[in-house]
Chains A and B, each alone.
Chain A
Amino acid sequence: MMKQQDVILKVENVSKQYRLGVVGTGTISHDFNRLLAKVTGKEDPYLKIGESNDRSTKGTSEYVWALKDINFEVKRGEILGIIGKNGAGKSTLLKILSKVTGPTTGCIKYNGRIASLLEVGTGFHPEMTGRENIFLNGAILGMTKKEISRKLDEIIEFSGCERYVDTPVKRYSSGMKVRLAFAVAAFLEPDILVVDEVLAVGDAEFQKKAIGKMQDISSQAGRTVLFVSHDMGAIQNLCTKCILLESGKVVLEDNTNKVISFYLKNKITKNNNYEFFKGNLFLKSFKIFNKNKNIVDLVLFDSPLVFKVVIGSKKEILNDFIFEIKIKSDKENILSTFSTYLNKYKFHSNGGFSRELTCEIDSVSLIPGKYYIDLIIVKYMEDGKLSSLSDVANFNVIESNNFIFSNKIKPVYHGNFIMKYNWK
């Protein structure tokens, strides 16, 4: 049977045009022109104009294409990741897929029910109890009352809010609200599930649970998932195929690893205007490689990792610097430092205007999670004058097969590091 391979959703030449600036003045005249064109059988005069959607350059037209000629297909049971920078058109695409707004041109054909999860807890009413909100939210997402009643116990159990289920939602913590809302969504049974970055909320344990649930949905029930996220870790974990959007166009459609590394390569090389010491020194690039020398932002636990930094200067680079890479677990806590001073590395100048530094780590012992990187340069000879850059990059450590990590692993109980050890 072709069951596993058939195409369940097909997007054909979908474009979406938006009007920029103050909507209001001139709309009646534009409407009138459109109507005139329609009556006389001509093409809409405003569909011809419009520019591609690049946020940073100021365009001349007041119409832009948020999406332009999008084409792709999704097979049954596939999890498709959609990635791209802010403003690339990801959310617009999801909105069209979930019928919140219509496309300007093109069409989407599909077999089955689409349910969308652009936000968790849509329509939650603070005055109503958890149970009442489960029904309301479920119905908004397209379930019937009967379906919800049947799954009510499972939903409540999955949310872990059993004690509070008859309390008004306004008394819930924000985390509990998210749990309850996601639990409702998790028991939807659509053929195609469209998910926006709803996982960005909630703690790590919950995110893991949510991702696991999505995997189950696709692998066991054979349902199709379309998933948008900035979290490359989640994308890598979940998706079999990815598309990369840029300025409203599909730039690349391939397997997840290829698309992610293409995306990261482009992203990192564009961020080259970081400055130290008011611009006397600047960061030309900061890249993270795995053992296969691929640029990544995902690292397996217990595997090698390489940081490559290129520092540029307006004048010749001198020798008297201490260079440090700091790893933080969140925006505050420093977990570890890789310093040229600590292991007595001599910061050699090669006489040029830029200097490349590589720091090789044999094995990453950080527990799975997201980490941020700060860079610090200390001028050794000038009384330790210091200049630092925060959050130049971030990376995710994900679990490897050598170690058992369940979602029970938490920094509070186990610390941030698991060192290499053997039992005898």
Chain B
Amino acid sequence: MEKEKWLFNISPKNNTFNLNLKEVWQYRDLLMLFVKRDVITLYKQTILGPLWYLIQPLFTSVIFTLVFNNVAGIKTGGIPPFLFNLAGITTWNYFKECLVATSDTFKKNEQIFGKVYFPRIIMPMSIVVSSLLKFAIQLFILICFYLYYVFYTNSGIRPSEFLFLFPVLIVFMGMLGLGLGMIISSMVTKYRDLTFLVSFGIQLLMYISLVVIPLSLFQKKGVEWLVMYNPMGYIIEMARFLLLNEGNISKFGIAYTVIFSVLCLLFGTVIFNKTEKTFIDTI
């Protein structure tokens, strides 16, 4: 009897490690269309449009420079403090954007998810890709200031010869943000209060991610352990190394970041896939 042969099956349990990558691939067009939607609608809701993405890092950098470098007297090596801060904040913003935007995937898309099926992971993935646009806008302003410092001041800054590795760094940052975001979004469906923790936690995390305070200062004060296990710390430090040729990179730091990001993404995907089946009942 051929009759009992079925191509598909819907059942309560699914294999934890079945990541359905084939299905995700089938829906790749949807991924790109979501990205397109985000890009098209990005400017349409604000008066200043893309200017907001310039204003935010600029003002933050100015304030940080005034407070941390001028008032508190933090030394940034041979790098102008403003450029040091702007590079850190620009890089950090991409991670923050990925994490915050993906962490409420389920809650924000309840309406769509409740009506139609597609691999849910498409949604956070599209966010990570479309956040690249905002990142590019902010990177542009960074490059403008960078060129200013290179040509009009004699600070002697130059990029590292490994600058071509910068995109790789962004990929790992995206993976980390996506992985953490998916873990949080899965937990938010059950425990709502986590959303408060995210907005508050990400602010605290910034201070121990070497965005404003350089690693050398942590080492000098003997509180290196604060940043040792934070992969974002390494990522920001590496970004600054590639862009400004300043900072110290350890083999341990690179290995730790790569392993942490990959594991985070894997774990995030598994827990996300597990949640997508029944979240609509609990949200």
Contact = CB atoms under 8 A, between A and B. Distances in A.
Given A99-B117, A100-B280, A122 B9 contact: no
B282 interface: yes
B158 interface: no
Contact of A110 (B8, B34, B111): B8
Contacts of A106: 11-12
Given A27-B190, A102-B277, A122 B33 contact: no
A100 B115 contact: yes
Nearest to A120: B115
Chain A CB count within 10 A is highest, among B10, B27, B192, for: B10
A346 B10 CA distance: 63
Contacts of B190: 27
B41 A125 contact: yes
B33 A109 contact: no
A103 B34 CA distance: 29
B3 A23 contact: no
A261 interface: no
A267 to B, nearest CB: 28
Nearest to A27: B190
A128 B112 contact: no
A212 to B, nearest CB: 24
A135 B116 contact: no
B280 A128 contact: no
A252 interface: no
Given A128-B41, A141-B116, A142-B118, A101 B8 contact: no
B189 to A, nearest CB: 10
A53 B163 CA distance: 63
B9 A139 contact: no
B11 A119 contact: no
Given A112-B7, A139-B30, A105 B12 contact: yes
A135 B33 CA distance: 8
Given A100-B280, A136-B33, A109 B9 contact: yes
Contacts of A393: none
Interface in B1-60: 3, 6-12, 26-27, 29-30, 32-34, 36-37, 40-41, 44-45
B46 to A, nearest CB: 12
A46 to B, nearest CB: 13
Interface string A101-138: 11111111111101010110011010110001001100
A69 B192 CA distance: 33
B8 A109 contact: yes
A118 B7 contact: no
Interface string B151-190: 0000000000000000000000000000000000000001
Nearest to A105: B12
A158 to B, nearest CB: 20
A6 B111 CA distance: 35
A203 to B, nearest CB: 23
A119 B110 CA distance: 14
Contacts of B10: 96-97, 99, 102-103, 107-110
A27 B117 CA distance: 26
A103 B3 contact: no
A101 B11 contact: no
Interface in A291-336: none
A101 B280 contact: yes
Contacts of B27: 139, 142
Chain B CB count within 10 A is highest, among A18, A96, A100, A110, for: A100
Interface residues of B, number: 36
Contacts of B34: 136
Contact of A140 (B7, B8, B116, B280): B116
Contacts of B11: 102-103, 106-108
A98 B116 contact: yes
Contacts of A101: 277-278, 280-281
A7 B114 CA distance: 28
Interface in A352-405: none
B261 to A, nearest CB: 28
Contacts of B118: 140, 142
Given A108-B9, A109-B6, A127-B44, A98 B117 contact: yes
A34 interface: no
Contacts of A99: 10, 117
B33 A118 contact: no
A410 interface: no
Contacts of B12: 102-107
Interface in A120-169: 122-123, 125, 127-128, 132, 135-136, 139-146
Contacts of B32: 145
B37 A125 contact: yes
A29 B44 CA distance: 46
B113 interface: yes
B9 A136 contact: no
A116 B281 contact: no
Nearest to A117: B116
A95 interface: yes
B116 A102 contact: no
Interface string B92-126: 00000000000000000001111111100000000
Nearest to A14: B10
Interface in A253-295: none
A135 B40 CA distance: 14
A14 to B, nearest CB: 9
A7 B37 contact: no
Contact of B114 (A18, A100, A125): A100
A325 to B, nearest CB: 41
3 nearest CB pairs, A to B: A107-B11, A109-B6, A99-B117
12 contacts: A6-B3, A7-B3, A97-B10, A99-B117, A101-B278, A105-B12, A110-B7, A112-B8, A118-B116, A127-B44, A128-B37, A132-B37
Given A107-B10, A107-B12, 11 more contacts: A18-B281, A100-B113, A100-B117, A106-B12, A111-B7, A112-B8, A123-B112, A125-B37, A127-B40, A127-B41, A132-B40
Interface of B: 3, 6-12, 26-27, 29-30, 32-34, 36-37, 40-41, 44-45, 111-118, 190, 192, 277-278, 280-282
